A and B are shown apart, each in its own frame.
With several copies, the nearest count.
Chain A
Amino acid sequence: MARVVVDVVLKPEILDPQGQAIVGALGRLGITGVNDVRQGKHFELDVEDSVDDATLARLADTLLANPVIETFSIRRT
């Protein structure tokens, strides 16, 4: 059994209202020095060792990320 992490982030040119809202809130929290925040998704998968990279990529591309607006990265840990 392996632990696989998939991080999904919005493509850089796509508007990220979630990240913007966080940046807006930082002032209220009194935190300075954070210039930009982008919010994405983080998936942790428990997979059999038999699951190959191609399968993981297909899984990420169809179920975890929306390739129209997002990109993903896969990491075996």
Chain B
Amino acid sequence: MPLRIGVVTFPGSLDDRDAARAVRVSGAEAVPLWHADPVLPDVDAVILPGGFSYGDYLRCGAIARFAPVMRSIIPAARRGLPVLGICNGFQVLCEAHLLPGALVRNDRRRFVCRDQLLRVQNASTPWTASYYLEQEIVIPIKNGEGGYVADKRTLDELEGNGRVVVRYAGGNPNGSYRDIAGICNEAGNVVGLMPHPEHAVDALTGPGTDGLGFFTSLLRVEVRA
């Protein structure tokens, strides 16, 4: 049986179809999850995709955090369900306090879309096991509020415990503290990522296939749910 990976659609989600496509390319089954549905079906992992969940005029992810679907995802994530938040999904995870810190307006105060060089800093999470440590990959970023911020203690703790998952290389696009592009929770099952691996699974429509590893990693680790 292929892995079943839930992909959440909030009313303003945009990259949900892309995330589902990437899941299928990786050989897993994509299970659509609707924001208003409080019951989590039987899935092996969940992806919170990119977009502007409920418009995100206030703060990205601030309203999505209260969506019915989150009421079941938050406890499941605390119990160890692998959850990947991409861009807006990362923002939702921070707002929901599943991940520390916050994402703020880019230091250049503009939306930025470009192919970004990244360095993998933790290759043992269920979402990054397909990579090797220090691997350099190119994946698109596209965000207006992608600057990762946290207080010094949190940053030191993230660094000290290997919880910085990917870092920007070749130029920080948004002012993220310590070039942080992605982090995980203490258990490692919840990963938040500003770049968009789902846009790098096919060289025809992306800069390459470097993003595929985020979706195939689940196959390599024993998934506990």
- Verify if B17 is at the interface (C-beta below 8 Å from A): no
Residue of A nearest to B67 (CB): A28
Which residues of B are found within 8 Å of A64, using beta-carbon distances? 58
CB neighbors of B among A14-67 (8 A): 14-15, 17-18, 21-22, 24-25, 28-29, 39, 63-64, 66
* Cα-based distance from A69 to B66 in the complex (angstroms): 19
Residues A69 and B95 in contact, CB atoms below 8 Å apart: no
B148-167 at interface with A (beta carbon < 8 Å): 149-152
Number of residues in B with C-beta < 8 Å to the partner?
Answer: 27
Interchain CB contact (< 8 A) of B62 among A10, A14, A24, A63: A63
Residue on A nearest B55 in the bound complex, by CB: A21
Q: Say yes or no for B37: interface residue by CB 8 A criterion.
A: no
Chain A neighbourhood of B54, CB < 8 A: 21, 24-25
Instruction: Give the tally of cross-chain contacts (CB within 8 A).
Output: 62
Q: Is the CB of A68 within 8 A of B102?
A: yes
Residue of A nearest to B97 (CB): A68
A66 and B102 contact, CB distance less than 8 A: yes
**Using a CB–CB distance below 8 Å, which chain A residues touch chain B?**
10, 13-15, 17-18, 21-22, 24-25, 28-29, 39, 63-64, 66, 68-69
List, sorted by A's number, 27 A–B pairs whose CB atoms are closer than 8 Å.
A13-B151, A13-B152, A14-B104, A14-B149, A15-B104, A15-B175, A17-B57, A17-B105, A17-B106, A17-B175, A18-B57, A18-B58, A21-B54, A21-B55, A21-B63, A22-B58, A22-B63, A25-B54, A25-B58, A28-B63, A39-B58, A63-B62, A64-B58, A66-B62, A66-B102, A68-B150, A69-B102
